[in-house]
Structure formats: C-alpha cells, structure tokens
Amino acid sequence: MGRLFGTDGVRGIANADLTAEMALGLSVAAAHVLAEAGSFAGHRPVAVVGRDPRASGEFLEAAVVAGLASAGVDVLRVGVLPTPAVAYLTGALGADLGVMLSASHNAMPDNGVKFLARGGHKLDDELEERIETLYDEHRTGAPWVRPTGSGVGRVRDYDEGFDQYVAHLVGVLPNRLDGLKIVLDEANGAASRVSPEAFSRAGADVVTIHARPDGLNINDGCGSTHLEPLKAAVVEHGAHFGIAHDGDADRCLAVDAEGNEVDGDQILSILALALRERGELRGDTVVGTVMSNLGFTLAMQGEGITVVQTGVGDRYVLEAMKEHGYALGGEQSGHVIVLDHATTGDGTLTGLLLAARVVATGRSLAELAGVMRRLPQVLVNVPDVDKSRVHTSAELSAAVAEAELELGDTGRVLLRPSGTEPLVRVMVEAADIDHARTVAGRLADAVKSALG
C-alpha cells in the first residue's frame, strides 16, 4: 500500500479513504509503537482526543477512542477544539499522546487523523513510519495482543479543556484589548466557541461570522481560504480589523479596516517587531519559507532582523525553530508559530497577539502592516514536463541566471518541482506586476523547452 502519513497526519475522504477501521487500527498501532519506544514506561498511558466539527469526526472519534482504550490507554475526550488546543492540553495535562481529527482547511468530505507526542509536539517521522508499518502488518496478519479486565483503557469527557485553553490564550497576552472592535470569521470550524470567548475575555468588542458549525458547513465559502465575507463584514460593522481562521484554527489571516488582506508574511513582520521590543525574539531572527514574499525579507533586513528560510510547510518551519531555539516563524498562508506559547501554528493566539499590538501601539493594522511592501508575485504551473531535471538542466539554469540578473535586488525567481503532480512551479517576484508576468512567462517557456 502507499504511504499513509503525509506532512500533517493521515488524510482522505472520510468513510472512503479514511475509514473507521483504519482510524481504529492506526490508534492501536500508535499505542503499541509508543509503548515499545518507552513512552509509557512505569505508568498507565493517557491520551487526549479532540476533533473539528465535521460530521465524519463523530464516528472517527469513536473509532480512535475505541482503538486506544482497547490497547490499554486511558482517554480524555475534549470534544470540538482547535488543533493547537489539543496540542496544548496534551502538554498541560502531561498526557502521553494527543490525537486530533481534522482535515484543516480541506472541504467537508475530507477528514484526517493527526497524532501528537508527549508535550503536544508532532510525532517524529520514524515513529509515524513504524505506526504505519505495524498497522499494515496487523491489518493483513496476526491479531493484536489486547489487555483484559482492569487493563483496558477508561474513557471520560474532559470538559474543562475549553476553559483551560482559553485561559492560557488570554494569559499570554502582553496587554488587554479594551476599545478594540474586531470581526472573527470562524470558518464554521473548531474555533467557533474558543476564539470569540478568548477575544471577549481579553476585552475586545467581538462580531462573529460563520461561527455556527452544523457538521457540514466547515470551510464552505468562509474562513481563511475565502476572505470576501470577512472583508465585507469588517467594513459593514466599522471594525478596527478582522481575523479569519481555517477549519482547525491553526491559521490566521487578517483584514484591515478598509477591507484589505493582511497575509501571513505581514503578520510575521508585525509580531517580529513586537517580540523584539519585548526582548523575546531570540537571535533577532524569524523563520519563513522559500515562498515568503521578498518584501518580507527586505523589510526584516531593514529592521536588523535575520530571516531564515526553510522548505514549504509549517513542519519545516517548526523543525528549524526547535533546532536553533528561534521564537517566531511561519508561512504566507497564515500558519504562525510562537514557540514560547504553542507547539504548533495557533490561529487564535496569532490573532490575539496581533490585536494586542494594535492596542499597545495605538496604530491601525494597515499602518503596522506597512512595515513591509508586498512585492507582486506571479506563480505559473508548467505541466507535462520532466520535473526531476529542474535543478540539473544547463539550459534552464542559464535562463534562471539571466532572469535573476535582470531583476537584480528588486525581485527573485524560484523554480520548484511539484511534490504530487508532473509539473514545475515557476514563481517570480518583481517591483511591478507586469515585469513579474513577463519574466514568469519567459521562464515558463524555458521550462517547456528544456524539460518538455
């Protein structure tokens, strides 16, 4: 069978690709692998299990809970909460394992299973591979050795998790949000209760949209992937700005008072300056990816802040942060990690810290976002080419070098083979959009010529 685990757990169409049997089997396998790794040594293991509001999460949660309990793991069921809440509670409660059922920003028919290690951190790739191997062996072979009697896991609802997480969010704020009017688009997702409660407790005047999940409407024309409703609501209500989350609330994008988007790079810029002012930006460094806008890098350099770039994906950002002890990192898409307060991207925390900066400085979000000028960025997908030769073709290297010489310090070029499709992505940034389009078109033709 193909590899089950992707960059963010196991995902697929619920009840087709991702079945109850698979969720149960993976949970049993995870319990056995962690036990063999010594994670449960000397004590009875405990797992925290949460989900987003998708209808399929109901039966998948039941399967995961059954699998863990049948393997001798006690389960604290926290219900519908964001992914970062499950990560936080896994650490705060001293649990041995966390499980989140969500497909993040994906459409409703999808769902996913994500395992978290002790402390609320992502499982190592090696452990994920062992879970997958063991699951596959038992799916087709010998039955599991299961505990009986008092050895089976016990299950209870942990309703206190909601207040515990909200208190954590409000507690890390450097100042209150009194006097701020904000619109929150909850994507009919996992933060529909948490985010409005946290902003309200912190003193903000809150207007919510898309905060009535019914199991079917998650991410449906709303949230961080569909900003138009938020832009309209911010203007309609005369709010200072708006925040949009995705289905599991590990992302945060913003909209200023005039309805203009403030993306992840701009949010990182604002928070980097705030953290440095408080002496919390370790190494005066922020972590981005190769897809971060050049305007972000130039703005940070102008402020004396170093930008470290990783591959695309918040997992790579987090790895670099943990390896070097950096405090802040993230992606243009709105995955922002503040490592002193979270082990993963946390959309609600990011929004709260952004709001706190607006209040503390007395400046509008648009003014704060003005620290960086977002350079026009053009992305062209070139299909049906030999993507394996993108970094070895002399003809293509010459075309890229010529483009880089033409753009100079005011632009850049990035060619990336797609990880899932037979195509090459050509990204060009330049001082103006027409120049970016011209160079991108020329490079796309060069890719077809060299790799076609």
Residues 6 or more apart whose CB falls under 8 angstroms from that of 162 comprise: 78, 79, 81, 193, 194, 197
For residue 391, the SS3 value is: coil
pLDDT confidence bin for 423, thresholds 50/70/90: confident
Q: Which amino acid is at 183?
A: V
Amino acid at 293: N
CA–CA distance, 357 with 277 (Å, rounded to integer):
11
Domains in the chain (CATH in brackets) are 5-159 (3.40.120.10), 163-369 (3.40.120.10), 377-451 (3.30.310.50)
Bridge partners, residue 382, by sequence? 424
What is the phi-psi region of residue 308: left when phi exceeds 0, alpha when psi lies from -120 to 50, beta otherwise? beta
Instruction: Please indicate whether residue 104 is annotated as part of the active site.
Output: yes
Eight-class DSSP state of 225: G
Catalytic residue among 56, 102, 104, 192: 104
DSSP code at position 13: E
Distance CA 418, CA 5 (A): 18
- Give 120-151 pLDDT, tens digit per residue: 998 888 999 999 999 998 887 778 889 999 99
Contact (CB, 8 A) for 332 and 349: no
Is residue 400 predicted with pLDDT exceeding 50? yes
The answer to whether 250 is annotated as binding is: yes
DSSP conformation class of 374:
-
CB 295 within 8 A of CB 264: no
Comparing C-alpha atoms, which of 94, 85, 99 is closest to residue 163? Answer: 85
Tens of pLDDT, residue by residue over 41-80, are 889 999 999 999 999 999 999 999 999 999 999 999 999 9
Q: State pTM to two decimals.
A: 0.91
The answer on whether 263 is annotated among ligand-binding residues is no
- Report the SS3 class of residue 257: coil
